[in-house]
Structure 1
Amino acid sequence: MSKNTKKDRSPGRAGRQNARRGPTSRSGSGRAAGAKKSKGSSSKPAAAGVDVPDILKGRKQLTADETFTFGCHAGLPCFTRCCADINILLTPLDALRLSRRLGIATGEFIERHTLTPITKSLHLPVLMMKMGDDPGKRCPFVGEDGCSVYEARPWSCRMYPVGMALPPARAGVDPKPVYFLFEDDFCEGRATGQEWTIESWRESQGVREREELESGFQGIVSHPWFIGGRLLDPKRMEMFHMACYDLDTFRRFVFSSSFLERFDVEADLIARLRTDDEALLSFAFRWLRFALFGEPSLSVKSGPIKCGRNP
């Protein structure tokens, strides 16, 4: 892979794009899609707007029982080569855990370390990891010894060399993920590691334990409301961005506005939301289903409240 070829590790979730190394090339957007090269076309959810057939074109698809060989360690000459010049789309949990690992607020993390691509193909905002300014465009968290934020590494980085794609939302159809392999020419780990199945690889990389929390996000980006190309208005785009990615700002929104005067939230849950980030993220997804799609995922205390549903 040439130095100037950008890789894509986007996730492959329906609703964002449809390929994921998790979120972008390596990334994976959920789960996003398309960059130049592919460490990143990995198993993250893809950003909205990428067609699954395009994502899967030329990729080796894997069934649940099929095995693949892979191993990655500092002894390989290609070590960390896959961590440069790639599009890594971040999931909400990625943004949260990376900001906490770095000891900074979510808003500061977004400002310092991410980009928000704007294209007609995206029906929802996505976050992309900002690469370094050096000629090789290396990930800012990667050094000679490897990843400095390894415990909080994004979904797509965990899943590589496996990618995941989800078909676009269709009424009455529960989308089934399709897994595939990124077969980068530079990667020597494909010939030296142990054998894995999709499930054993996901288990080893700590992906399965994230799924319950991230399922709330998946349910939003692949929501049937988007069937037919419907788009959120700018105000609701901002609501989505805040609730999914800027959790510290969302917490202030809950506790420093009239939010708790308008919505009936259990007292014990309110206490948890003050300090439990993951509980707050799950609650943010509940609120978005109410605010974006008009679903009764939250109860209003009294009087009419606009659900925020687009016309």
Structure 2
Amino acid sequence: MAEDMIPISPQDLMDFNCDFANECFNDCCRDLNQALTPYDILRLKNNLGISSQDFLKTYTALHYGPESGLPVIEFKPNPDTGHECPFVKPEGCSVYADRPASCRMYPLARAIARSRQTGEIAEYFALIEEPHCKGFGRQAGKTVEQWLKGQEVDKHNKENDKLMELISLKNRILPGKLEGAQSDKFYLALYDLDEFRKEIVEKDLLAQFNIPEDVLKKIKADDEALLDFGIKWVKTMLFGIEMTFGE
């Protein structure tokens, strides 16, 4: 599908509005080829009250990057429904409070660049104009910054930037394609959180490490803490970077 990318700054007004009155309502939830981040999956499986493993088996398809070997998780395609999102209903999104970051951002695209000198992240935005979307030309009276705040996307972006940083690290330290066992570790610690926790608790996965008790207690009870720890674990297991705590 053809699309135009129009650069836009956070202070610019968005000539766009989306609601159920639009004739294209829910069209952007069809013909999907949508990757999900670890934080997307964390939020969605908790919204549904199911385990990460059940969510992944029921709603997603697993692919591997042909050059990187990294796992890529996407919504499972269903041609019978026009490849629509499994959570879209006639009245809208049934998991709206925990919808993925890409849904929150639409019709914006976001790119980031990290300064080598300061480590600070700079954000860049563009509007995506697609033929099916009739939301353009409808004044919302909001700047890009205000739109993003209303979509509550900041937390998602911060969590997803951690994944981007991890992938960038992988490309520097371990360029090329990950082997099967390496990809499996990446998938376990970032996407299949409940299985990762189970292996920590029941299979003593961390026996070789000196993990502080307060950290263990937190990762056994809190998914976001477990995901942060999973990133540390992947850095250690794949890249040989020593785990540190209390930064």
TM-score range, shorter-chain basis? Answer: 0.7 to 0.9
Counterpart amino acid of residue 234 in structure 1: G
Residue 200 of structure 2 is aligned to residue 254 of structure 1: yes
Residue 223 of structure 2 is aligned to residue 293 of structure 1: no
- Please give the TM-score of this superposition, normalised by the length of structure 1: 0.70
Counterpart amino acid of residue 164 in structure 2: Q
* 8 Å Cα contact 1:113/1:129 also seen in 2: yes
* 8 Å Cα contact 1:72/1:193 also seen in 2: no
Structure with a larger share of its residues in helix? 2
SS at 2:207 equivalent: helix
Q: What residue ranges of structure 2 are gaps of 5+ in the alignment?
A: none
* 8 Å Cα contact 1:264/1:298 also seen in 2: no
Shift of the 293–227 alpha-carbon distance from structure 1 to 2, 3 Å rule, reads closer
Q: 1:150 aligns with which of 85, 96, 101?
A: 96
What is the Cα-based RMSD across aligned positions, in Å? 2.6
Q: Distance in 2 between matches of 1:179 and 1:251?
A: 36
* 8 Å Cα contact 2:53/2:192 also seen in 1: yes
Deviations 1:103-148 (A, max 9, x none): 2111111111111234524542111112434252221111110000
Partner of 2:191: 245
Deviations 1:182-234 (A, max 9, x none): 10122121121414433322211111123443343232022264479433222
Shift of the 91–162 alpha-carbon distance from structure 1 to 2, 3 Å rule, reads same
Count of residues in correspondence between the two structures: 244
Residue 214 of structure 2 is aligned to residue 268 of structure 1: yes
- Please give the TM-score of this superposition, normalised by the length of structure 2: 0.87
Correspondences of 1:149-168 after superposition (within 5 Å):
149-166=95-112
SS at 2:80 equivalent: coil
Q: Distance in 2 between matches of 1:156 and 1:217?
A: 15
Q: 1:116 aligns with which of 56, 62, 70?
A: 62
State the structure with bigger RCO (CA 8 A, min sep 6), 1 or 2: 2
**Residue 66 of structure 1: CA displacement?**
2.8
SS at 2:243 equivalent: coil
Counterpart amino acid of residue 92 in structure 2: G
Deviations 1:230-249 (A, max 9, x none): 33222111100111110011
Residue 178 of structure 2 is aligned to residue 232 of structure 1: yes
* 8 Å Cα contact 1:125/1:240 also seen in 2: yes
Q: What residue ranges of structure 1 are gaps of 5+ in the alignment?
A: 6-36, 39-57, 300-311
Percent identity of paired positions between Structure 1 and Structure 2: 32
* 8 Å Cα contact 1:290/1:298 also seen in 2: no
